[in-house]
């Protein structure tokens, strides 16, 4: 239930943000229908609104989508789907379906959880995107209503739970410095991609400090249970 409400509202926020960024109703809805991974969609319209080239904007969205590959990896073992079904199931491999499926005790309930969560979120996300985009077109100037603050607030809400350790905070801090510091001097869209380098940079610096670049990486418990 909580997941549904959160997704419903962020779908609405996406529709509003996307329309406010200058995308048409059709473009906004195509994104939710065919991309269907929220953070990437927000990143794309944010970068386009800032005047980024289509390829730098898409690259930022792509990197945010990479985490779905890791969900897919876990889910393929858990759900053991037939190969013919996988191309269709792939579109639903997102944060929420992975979280629900991985929390189930049996394969059967994991499959049901994946199906129910995927279907309900897909329908809800696309409906609220449509409503948000229509609403934004109806009220005209989204800035006057403060709706341009919805995008960054969504990012912050997604980011906050990830900032658990000093490493994550260091990466976030460095990324903010790079993203803002380079903004005036580099073409639009590029600073965000350079800021992504904060992740390997911090890992590299930590590896050097420990003197053991690979052994020092903490295990998160996921790989252990797979063996």
Partner 1 sequence: MNIWIAIGVTVLGCYAVKLAGLLVPAGVLERPLVRRLAALLPVALLAALTAQQTFADGQTLVLDARGVGLAAAAVALMLRAPFLVVVGAAVVVTAGVRALGG
Q: 120 to 139, contacts with partner 1 by CB under 8 A?
A: none
Which one, 133 or 196, has the nearer CB to partner 1?
196
Cα distance between residue 58 and residue 62, in whole Å: 6
If binding is defined by CB under 8 A, does position 1 make contact with partner 1?
no
Piece of 103-111, 113-121, 123-131, 186-194 that binds partner 1 (CB under 8 A): 186-194
- Which of 82, 105, 108, 219 touches partner 1 (CB under 8 A)? 219
d(CA 216, CA 142): 48
Distance of CA 80 to the CA centre of its chain: 25
For the chain, counts of helices (H) and of strands (E): 13, 0
Minimum CB distance to partner 1, residue 137 (Å): 16
The Cα 41–Cα 217 span in angstroms is 31
Per DSSP, the residues of 106-164 read SHHHHHHHHHHHHHHHHHHHHHHHHHHHHHHHHH--TTTTTGGGHHHHHHHHHHGGG--
Under the binding rule (CB under 8 A), the answer on residue 110 touching partner 1 is no
- Contact between 80 and partner 1 by CB under 8 A: the answer reads no
Stretch that binds partner 1, among 108-116, 118-126, 131-139, 196-204 (CB under 8 A): 196-204
CA distance 183 to 192: 9
Q: Confirm or reject binding of residue 116 to partner 1 (CB under 8 A).
A: no
The correct pick among 81, 127, 134, 139 for binding partner 1 (CB under 8 A) is 81
**Range in contact with partner 1 (rule: CB under 8 A) among 101-109, 112-120, 128-136, 151-159:** 151-159
Take residue 71 and report the two structure tokens written for it.
């969900």
Task: Based on the shown chain and the rule CB under 8 A, indicate whether residue 205 belongs to the binding site for partner 1.
Answer: no
Q: Determine which residue in the list 20, 46, 113, 118 makes contact with partner 1, applying CB under 8 A.
A: 46
Residues 182, 180: Cα–Cα separation, whole Å: 6
If the CB atoms of residues 90 and 103 are measured against partner 1, the closer one turns out to be 90
């Amino acid at each position: 239930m909580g997941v549904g409400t959160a997704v419903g509202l962020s779908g609405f926020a996406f529709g509003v943000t996307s329309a406010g960024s200058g995308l048409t109703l059709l473009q906004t809805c195509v994104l939710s229908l065919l991309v269907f991974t929220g953070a990437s969609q927000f990143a794309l319209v944010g970068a386009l609104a800032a005047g980024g080239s289509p390829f730098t904007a898409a690259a930022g969205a792509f990197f945010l989508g990479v985490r779905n590959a890791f969900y897919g990896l876990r889910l393929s073992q858990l759900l053991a789907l037939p190969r013919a079904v996988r191309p269709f199931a792939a579109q639903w491999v997102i944060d929420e379906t992975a979280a629900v499926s991985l929390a189930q005790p049996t394969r059967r309930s994991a499959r049901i959880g994946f199906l129910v969560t995927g279907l309900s979120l897909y329908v809800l996300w696309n409906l609220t995107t449509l409503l948000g985009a229509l609403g934004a077109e109806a009220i005209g100037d989204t800035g006057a209503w403060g709706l341009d603050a919805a995008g960054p607030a969504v990012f912050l809400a997604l980011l906050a739970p990830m900032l658990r350790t000093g490493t994550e905070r260091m990466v976030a801090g460095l990324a903010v410095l790079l993203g803002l510091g380079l903004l005036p001097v580099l073409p639009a869209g590029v600073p965000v991609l350079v800021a992504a380098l904060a992740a390997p940079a911090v890992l590299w610096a930590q590896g050097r400090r420990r003197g053991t670049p690979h052994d020092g990486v903490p295990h998160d418990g996921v790989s252990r249970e797979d063996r």
